Every structure is written in C-alpha cells, then in structure tokens.
C-alpha cells in the first residue's frame, strides 16, 4: 500500500488573524475551483498548516469543514506546571489540535532545543495522542564535512530513544521531516537526488531501529526551499512522501500549486 503524501505549510512567526483569513479565503477558493475542474483524485494528499499559537483557533474555524488539519509548531514536554511562556499537549488537544511540529531546526538553533528535549516531546505527543512531525537535518558545515548521515542517524535515534514500550500503532503516528538546515529559507533547495539519498538512508535507519514493515509505512517529508518549481521532481522520488513548506506556504497561489502537484502521486 502506498504512503499518502503530505503537504504541510509551516507559517513560522508570520500572519495576523486578518492575514490568515485573507489567505484562507483565497486558498480554499483555489482548492474548490481545482476540485470542481478535475475529476476527484483518489490520491489526494493530506494537507496541513503549522501555525503560530495565536492563529490555531482561526485555523480550526476556517478549516473545520474541510479535511485540512491545523498543527502547532511546538509544545512543551511536561503535562503542566511552572513553565512560563509554554503550551502543553493537553492545551493543544483542548483546541482540537492533533498535529505538531517537533524539533524544527529554528527551535534547535535559536531556542536551545536539543535531541534530548525532542525525545521527551515525541514521547509526550504520542502518550497524549498527538501526531508529531519531527524535524531532522544537517547544517552546511556538517554537509561539507561529509557527516550528513551520521548527524541524521543520531537525530533519528533520539526520536525513538524513549519509546521502548510503545506499540507499532502508536509509533506509526510519527512523521519525519528531513530539512537540511542550509536549504531552509535560502532558495537553495537540495537536489532531488541528494534529498532522495538521505530519505532512503532514513528509511533504512527506521527499519533497523524498529522494523522493515514499519519503515515502509512512515512518511518522510522534505523541507528546505521547496517551491512550485521543484515540488514535482521531489515528489517523484520513491522515498519522499511530501513536503514541509515554509516561505512558499505563505502565498495561497504558490502553496495551492504545490498541493495540486501532489494530487495523483501515490
């Protein structure tokens, strides 16, 4: 059975409520026009938007009647407590949010997110029934040193580090996003063949850490300057199951083109 593609927008720290509403007016209209103009594809991608906390309710209201999901960009690994400025898994669930990014490289780079905290958050997400989209990827320096595989391998091992007692059904909620740090927001995406090579490596690692049939089920997204120009080629790669899209997801025209590119891909 093929893996359903995912197109995930990552809005980072962008948009007010009125800007988000404007985006959805245009985006949802484009989706509607597209679906009316084409026969319904049996392989529609899963679409989601990772939004700032202040927009989660707006997103839920605007997307509530669709099958598009709203995701958080981060949350805290504790149930509750003295963690000023943080938001818990229960608070997200209370809003009806079921997806969250974890360990985005900007969290790692600017906010001290470590492999250890990523491991705690993945565990907390799964324990509470949240679907985590966990980000991994090497820096430019690491790529140039030729250590991409060992860096990514280490990050993947941490994701599964505290999940020993969880069954495969729980583990299947995990989505991995491979985002080479040097490609994020730079306009310099990885070539599809380089990206495919790392995705394949990640899948092999997953089959080693968990099991082969598990590795075959897990969706691995590519992120880093994905755009309407390169998404087709990326989606054609056998181990690339979709995209985590920053800049291009802020524009309804660009992002809807990327979603349409995923229609029909298995």
* List of residues contacting ligand PGA (CB under 6 A): 10, 179, 184-185, 223-226, 244-248
Give CA–CA dist 176/222, Å, rounded. 9
Q: Which is nearer to ligand PGA, 14 or 21 (CB)?
A: 14
Q: Which is nearer to ligand PGA, 14 or 207 (CB)?
A: 14
* Minimum CB–partner distance for residue 205 and ligand PGA (Å): 21
Rounded CA Rg of the chain: 17
Q: Strands 131-136 and 99-102, how do they pair?
A: parallel
Q: Provide the CA 178 distance to its chain's centre, in angstroms.
A: 9
Q: Provide the CA 69 distance to its chain's centre, in angstroms.
A: 12
Which residue matches tokens 């590519």?
222
Which residue matches tokens 């075959």?
216
- Report DSSP state, residue 100: E
Contact 257, 228 (CB under 8 A): yes
Q: Which of 69, 104, 199, 265 is catalytic?
A: 104
Contact 12, 73 (CB under 8 A): yes
Count of residues for the chain? 266
Q: Which is nearer to ligand PGA, 103 or 196 (CB)?
A: 103
Q: Which is nearer to ligand PGA, 130 or 135 (CB)?
A: 135
* Minimum CB–partner distance for residue 167 and ligand PGA (Å): 30
- The residues with which 71 forms a beta bridge, in sequence order, are 50, 99
The answer to whether residue 179 is catalytic is yes
Q: Which of 179, 199, 205, 265 is catalytic?
A: 179
* Minimum CB–partner distance for residue 188 and ligand PGA (Å): 9
* Minimum CB–partner distance for residue 39 and ligand PGA (Å): 30
Which residue matches tokens 């994905």?
226
- List active site positions: 104, 179
């Amino acid at each position: 059975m093929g893996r359903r593609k995912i197109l995930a927008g990552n809005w980072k720290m962008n948009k007010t409520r009125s800007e988000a509403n404007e985006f959805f007016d245009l985006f949802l209209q484009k989706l509607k026009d597209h679906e009316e103009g084409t026969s319904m594809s049996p392989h529609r991608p899963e679409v989601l938007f990772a939004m700032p906390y202040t927009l989660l309710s707006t997103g839920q209201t605007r997307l509530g009647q669709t099958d598009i999901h709203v995701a958080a960009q981060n949350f805290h690994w504790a149930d509750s407590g003295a963690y000023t400025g943080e938001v818990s898994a229960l608070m997200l669930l209370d809003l009806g949010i079921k997806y969250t990014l974890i360990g985005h490289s900007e969290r790692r780079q600017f906010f001290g997110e470590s492999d250890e905290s990523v491991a705690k958050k993945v565990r907390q997400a799964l324990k509470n029934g949240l679907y985590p989209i966990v980000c991994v990827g090497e820096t430019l320096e690491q790529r140039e040193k030729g250590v991409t595989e060992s860096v990514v391998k280490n990050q993947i091992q941490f994701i599964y580090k505290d999940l020993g007692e969880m069954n495969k059904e729980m583990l299947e909620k995990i989505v991995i996003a491979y985002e080479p740090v040097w490609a994020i927001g730079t306009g310099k995406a990885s070539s599809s063949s380089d990206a495919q090579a790392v995705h394949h490596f990640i899948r092999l690692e997953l089959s080693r850490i968990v099991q082969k049939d598990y590795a075959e089920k897990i969706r691995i997204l590519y992120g880093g300057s994905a755009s309407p120009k390169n998404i087709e080629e990326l989606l054609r790669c056998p181990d690339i199951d979709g995209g985590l899209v920053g800049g291009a997801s802020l524009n309804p025209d660009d992002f809807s083109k990327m979603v349409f590119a995923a229609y029909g891909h298995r």
